[in-house]
């Protein structure tokens, strides 16, 4: 069940969940819907999120006082926005978690040295090619290879109708590739692990690529592309 909501002068936006109801913005405006039952099978993303939260929170408690103060000092240099697009001021703990989330997820390491944001390699173009007959499932992006001190996180959707133009909600992180990886990359095994079967000709599949710094955990935007599966 979903319901459209029209906001007035006092309340202009509402996001989040209250009880069994989720408030969110959608394609046709703000909506309220029933909170879905959780998926009991942990995805790649869910697994790394759960593990990272526990590990990074514990690591913060193990820092010295001077190390915590160093993260407090650089916090204003790490911009962030809330769900409504408003600027947020992060704490030192927030920055520590933000910069170590991917560090731990990708390497199991924690960086206790506070560092400022840095320039990050990111693909400027990506394309996907899938052919049933040739059994090919190739991702190509440029520039290639993956830059030094970066990893490329790969997101995939299930197969959807060919008329779909926007990435679906079932996009999931399925794996990563280290610095030096060149394209094209065969994603057959990653897709099979996610969906179980090769996609059907005539359907569309979406892919996303996100660069993450292995130095300070900076994560770039996710770039999306899609293709229609050919016979």
CA dihedral in degrees (55, 61, 67, 73; nearest 10)?
90
Spatial distance between the Cα atoms of 199 and 206, rounded to a whole number of angstroms: 11
All structural domains of the chain: 2-34 (no CATH), 44-107 (no CATH), 125-228 (2.60.40.10)
Spatial distance between the Cα atoms of 30 and 14, rounded to a whole number of angstroms: 8
Per-residue pLDDT of the chain (231 residues; tens, 9 = 90+): 455 556 666 666 666 777 667 777 666 566 677 766 665 555 555 666 677 788 888 899 999 999 999 999 999 988 887 767 788 888 999 999 888 888 887 777 888 888 888 788 889 999 999 999 999 999 999 999 999 888 999 999 989 999 988 888 778 888 889 999 999 999 999 998 888 889 999 999 999 999 988 887 888 889 999 999 999
For residue 1, the model assigns a pLDDT of 47
Residue with tokens 């109801």: 21
> How many C-beta atoms lie closer than 10 Å to residue 54's C-beta?
11
Provide the whole-model pTM: 0.71
With CA atoms as reference, report the closest residue to 75 among 93, 57, 61, 58.
93
Could you tell me how many helices (H) and strands (E) the chain has, helices first?
A: 4, 13
Spatial distance between the Cα atoms of 40 and 100, rounded to a whole number of angstroms: 26
Measure CA of the first residue to CA of the last residue in the chain; give whole Å.
Answer: 37
* DSSP-assigned states of every residue in 48-100: HHHHHHHHHHHHHHHS-HHHHHHHHHHGGGS-EE-TTS-EE---HHHHHHHHH
Contact partners, residue 81, CB within 8 Å, separation at least 6 = 87, 88
With CA atoms as reference, report the closest residue to 123 among 228, 222, 189.
222
> How many C-beta atoms lie closer than 10 Å to residue 120's C-beta?
17
Which DSSP helix (H) or strand (E) runs through 199? Answer: none
DSSP code for 14: -
For residue 140, the model assigns a pLDDT of 95
């Amino acid at each position: 069940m979903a319901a459209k909501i029209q906001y007035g002068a006092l309340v202009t936006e509402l996001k989040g969940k209250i009880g069994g109801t989720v408030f969110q913005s959608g394609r046709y405006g703000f909506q309220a819907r029933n909170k879905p039952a959780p998926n009991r099978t942990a995805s790649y993303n869910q697994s790394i999120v759960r593990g990272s939260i526990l590990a990074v929170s514990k690591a913060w408690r193990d820092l010295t006082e001077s190390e915590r103060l160093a993260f407090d000092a650089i916090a204003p240099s790490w911009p962030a926005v809330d769900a409504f697009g408003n600027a947020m001021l992060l704490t030192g703990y927030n920055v520590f978690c933000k910069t170590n989330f991917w560090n731990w997820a990708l390497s199991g390491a924690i960086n206790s040295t506070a560092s400022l944001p840095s320039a990050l390699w990111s693909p400027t173009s990506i394309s996907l090619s899938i052919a049933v007959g040739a059994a090919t499932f190739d991702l190509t992006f440029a520039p290639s290879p993956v830059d030094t001190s970066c990893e490329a996180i790969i997101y995939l959707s299930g197969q959807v109708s060919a008329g779909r133009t926007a990435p679906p909600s079932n996009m999931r992180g399925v794996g990563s590739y280290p610095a030096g990886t060149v394209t094209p990359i065969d994603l057959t095994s990653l897709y099979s692990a996610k969906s179980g079967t090769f996609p059907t000709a005539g359907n569309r599949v979406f892919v996303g690529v996100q660069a993450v710094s292995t130095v300070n955990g900076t994560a770039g935007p996710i770039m999306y592309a899609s293709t229609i599966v050919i016979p």
